[in-house]
Structures are given as C-alpha cells and as structure tokens.
Structure 1
Amino acid sequence: MIRRNLTYAAIMAASIGGPYTFFNPEARQQAESIWSQASALIPSGEKSDATEKPTASIESPQVQPELPPEEQPNMFVPPTLSDAGANMPIAGPPVQDFLEVFNFNADFRWVAMRWPRVSTTLADLNLEGLRAPLVTGSQYDDLAGSITYYFDRDGHVQRITFHGTTGDERRLVQMLTTHFGFKHEPTLDAGLYLVKWNGDPTSVLRLRNSPVLNAAQPHTRLNVALEINRPSRYYGLSPQMAETVEEAKSAQRWGK
C-alpha cells in the first residue's frame, strides 16, 4: 500500500506539473523516479484489453446516426469505472503503439475509462482539456509525463499535447513524421519537428537535452514538448506553444 501511494504521488506530480518539472530541480528529481517505478507497475510489451481502442485518425470523425433520446450516449459525462478499471495503474495500461494514445478519434468516455485519474483543464473559451499521466512502458524509447486531450463543443479532439521525457526519440519521431506530417527543422536543440500551414507552425515537437545527463536515469535524457493540432482554420498553436516558438526564433535556436 505504501509503495502504491508513493508511485501515485510521483506520477500525478509529473502529470499535473507538466513543463514545471523541466525548470525546478526538486520537481524534476521527483519526475525522474517515474521510470524506475513504472517498470514494476507496467511491464514493457504487455498487452492490455482494459479499454476498447478507437481507430487512429486526425480526420474529422464521421457523424453517426442519432439514437433515440433515451439511448443517446453523453460523451461529456465520464462513465463509472468498473472494478477492473479502478485497479489499473494510475498511468493507464501499457501502450504498444503510440497511435493508441495520440488519437484524434478519442472521446471523453474513452479517456475517462482508460485512466482511473483524469484532471480537467481549460485551454481557452473554446476548448476543454482532459489531462492524464502517461507512462507507455519501460523501454528507452517509451514516454513518461502527461498527455492532454482538448475537446471542442461538439466533443471532437482538436489538440493533443504531451510534456515529459524519453531516452530515445526515434520511435516518437517516426510516428509523427509518418502519420501527422511532421518535418525536421534545423535547430541547436536536440530536435525540432514542425507541421506548417502557409509557412507558420501549426504543430510542434521540441526535444531538448536534459540539463543533467544521468547514466542511472537514461529514460530522462530528453525533455519532450509536443503539441499536435487538427488541421483547422479555427484552431492553431496554443498561446503557450506559440510563445515558445517565438522565443526560440528570437534566440536563433532554430531556423536557417
């Protein structure tokens, strides 16, 4: 029980703190402990049947025929978790394919059933966010941090963000370049990949080397800041990511 409580506190601190852990040494040290504890909680490569996986796509979901009012599901009301769901790891079941979680066909119900603890956050007046801790596994190319899904008024995901760490970015980069159209940009950081529209970034992956490279914590070698936006004339980069991009430009950290 003590071990479970300590693990819960560490993972939730990392997921709620987000980018704060990158700049606060004490918070970062706490976040680094996620990886060592995740190995015991989530064996790498284990498959999970805890929840049904939505089909991965960035396209707008197809409109389903309306059900009678008494049978109409309300995706804005999280369902009650079953006993099995309540006992799953705080960071959710292990992830075989990153597209399972970086999925624009997710809805409120799926998010609430996949993670036993989800917090809400307001991006702006038009988007409502659901944030959850994410540990995809215990391999070097797995991810640990927090993932947030931002929904519009129709319950469709318009933005997905992830803030955390990894020891090897290649698996994440392959997924983003293959399925979301990210392209590499010259940078002084560990890596920068963008999706652009009319020359302006609309989605961003920024990789930065950890301030301290600890051989005992290889999973935390890189800090990851990722924002994927559905192609839309209504939604672009979040104010936070737009500010990060402008600061990097001004400091000549990237660009030719």
Structure 2
Amino acid sequence: MSPSILITGANGGIGNATARYFLEKDPEAFVYLGIRSGKTEAEALVAAYPERAATISLDVASETAWKAALETISSQNRVITVLVNNAGHHEDHLLANMPTEAWSSVIQSNLTATYLGCQSVLHGMMTQRFGRIINISSLSALLAPLGQTNYAAAKAGVVAMTQSLAKETARMGITANSICPGYIETAAIDEMDAEKKKQQKKAIPMRRFGTPREVAAAVFFLASKDAGYITGSTLKIDGGIL
C-alpha cells in the first residue's frame, strides 16, 4: 500500500511546505491537506499534483470533524500511515490579563487537537503495524517566553503527550516524535516590524530565521522507514538558540 499522509494546517507556511516536500520527494505518496477554511495555498498545491493530493475539511479541535475526515479517507480505500499534527494558533497575553477564552482556545487548537488527531489515526496504524506520527510543537515548549503561558503550556503538553504515546505504540511499529521550530519564516515573522526582526535575529546564533522547507525536511525524515528506531524524541529546529 502506498503511503497516505495527512497534514493539518496545510494552508500555513510549515504545513504547506511539508505537503510539497512529501509530494516532491516520494512519488508514491498521496497527501491529504487538512484545512479549516481558506483553500488558496492548499488548492494551489493540489492543482500542481492533482493525482496525488487532495484537500480535506478539518476543524482539528472537533472530534466530529476528525471522525468525518477519516471516514472520507477510508471511503477512498486509504489508511493514514503518516500524520503530521501541524495546525494551531497562539493568542498572547500576560497571564494576569488573559481572557479565559484565550486560554481555552489555544489549549484546544494546539493540545486537544493533537490528541484528537493521534487517537483518530491509531486504529488504522495498529492494524497495519506501521505508522509515523509527527507532532509540531514549538520552541516555546522548551524556552517559554513571557506572554505565552497558554501557548507554552499547550506546546509543552504536546511534547509530553508525544513521549508517552511513543511508549504505548513502540511495539506496534508506530513511532511518535515532536518537532520544536524556533523562528521560521512564516506569516508570524512577516507581521514583525523591521526592528523587531533585527533584534530577534541577533538572538539566534545562526543570525537568520529558518525556512519552512527546513522543517519539512525533518518531518520527512522522521516519517521515513529509515527513522524506525527514533521514537519519543523532541527535535528542535532553532538555529542554535537553546
């Protein structure tokens, strides 16, 4: 059976670059681009690879949406062999002034969504005795900044959950690993003013931001058969910050 990959947050910089990387590097792969709304970036990629890629509607914080997505994939006689939990968002506030909704929504979209994604694909992976789960965490999980108590807590939870899951699935041929990107050239970086970008680069030993493709390359390796003895690991991609 050819590999079937599901990547959430596929309209974003890292998600879209990861989908493209799989399509370029593995001619047998079929890639599902999970999106909640706004299909521009994902649709462009599907147009470039119409026989090997498809968008799939997915609100990652909804158990019902996950069930519907997996049912759609199953109806196409495919089983997800690689899951990349990439979707999420941050809403920064100092804890003293953080609205409860900002806490809850960030936990839901980052931590709960990852739990739902992992649980949704596990049965199929266990049946095949093979699977790769790559959860995109954040450098904030390891080096928590001020103003991100919600996001740092959610992403640290992703790391710990991944480590525990790796132990649960190790005998089944399923690996689970997390990646902690630092400053990557995505929309969040684009929103910074020039002075802030300059300051942030000074804090990075490599003196540059990473690219989405550099993250995608790490995801691709962890999803490969060659990475079969790597599980429960946390890989930071940060230019040497930590």
TM range, normalised to the smaller chain? Answer: under 0.3
Question: TM-score, normalising length from structure 2?
Answer: 0.27
Higher relative contact order (CA 8 A, sep 6+): 2
Which structure has greater strand proportion? 1
Larger radius of gyration: 1
Which structure has greater helix proportion? 2
